[in-house]
Amino acid sequence: MYKTSITRLASTGEGIGHLQGKTYFIPRTVPGDEIEFISVLEKKNYGRGLLQKILKASPQRISAPCKYYEKCGGCQLQHIEPHWHKDESIKQLHNTLVKFGPGETSILPTISGEAWNYRNSVTFHREHSFQGFRDYNDRQVIDIDTCNIARPRINQLWKQTKPLIAHIQGSLIPRVMLREYSSHNVVIFFLAQEKLVPELQKITSPLKTEALFYYALIDSQHPKKENTPPTPLHTKTPLSISQHIGDIIIDCFPENFSQVNHEVAMMLLEYLLQDIANEQEHQKILDLYCGSGFFSLALAYRGHQVLGIEVSPRATMSAINSSLLNALDDRIGFQTGKVSTCTEKLVENKKKFSTIVIDPPRKGIDKKTLSTLPKLDPTFIYYISCNPITLARDLISLQKSGYQVMWLRPFDMFPQTYHIECMVKLKKNKKV
């Protein structure tokens, strides 16, 4: 057993303490805490600890409302006073941009929504007799009946679904995803072995009027991954689901990516649309990593000419279907392929765009695409990111290519967790 004082918070939400010249990362602690902990990981320059006892509590410590928080790894910040943490997260974001990115940056106030019951998509894991989320320490599944950050209907339907499959071995159904759409449909999606499909059809039949049920088959080489697209469990279940984005209807497949916080995602979208309109109406816009067309369709609806690029054929199919459904196909197009390959072809064909919207995965933009973007000659680039480290790295590259950061706006897309969404506006320097 060791003693230490927590001096600051890591970007992952863990408290940082020091002992005999080594840094320890200790979850569920707050700067100002004096604690006892045990070591669960030792490396040359750092270690990971597990909180055992709070000797003196920080003034920023509060009681977590969730009964599972002591073990559950889904949230990291329920024990920290929220206003203090929001200020701290901005300081960390600023430090990341200074240390790894373009330096001093204008950070606008954070836009936030509801702090609880916001999450519209939840994946429950199943191992042995447990059905729930993973322990933040040993990664074992802990049993969960309800989640404080999930939408109420998701919690209601999980309580109804969970006992129906409790007798089925976890390896036969390793995951169950529940997602609520803005159209108020709820999808329940099982990853399962093929032999279980008839039983799943039978046991979910009483809930057919409450939710839309789908399954995907387990990949024999990768037992926790699917090797088929989602298939309806029941004959009258549609192949796709409608998602309302203001006046637009997006036609989605169950596996298509969508933001887990619809309220804040709509705030981000409206902010983007308004800022683009303030610069110039009816622009030619390129939307990279466009998914099923969340930004593309809204931009086309506002009168812009849009080209969306997405690597997933199923997501592109959804986007094309949605463009037809909303009668936007005369001013929007989609390409399926790697962003780096497609943007290179656009350069070869001498295509130009006034604005580029880019929302890459957590790993950020690949080097090839980063070098290609300036050749498409956009005046403005809007970069949406959920990873400050890769964002900072990519902003340096764009800065070297002649683009200046105008502002950065954080969006609190994931309350109670350390994750944060940011939108950055860049403008081409006049000399370039």
Which residues participate in catalysis according to the annotation? 386
CA distances for 294 relative to 12, 61, 74, 115, 129, angstroms = 28, 38, 26, 23, 38
Tokens of 122: 């939840």
33-50: buried (b, 16+ CB within 10 Å) or exposed (e) per residue? bbbebeeeeeeeeebbbe
Task: With CA atoms as reference, report the closest residue to 88 among 412, 424, 397.
Answer: 412
In sequence order, the 6+-apart residues with CB closer than 8 A to the CB of 326 are 248, 249, 297, 301
Strand partners, 409: 423
CA distances for 414 relative to 77, 88, 183, angstroms = 11, 15, 21
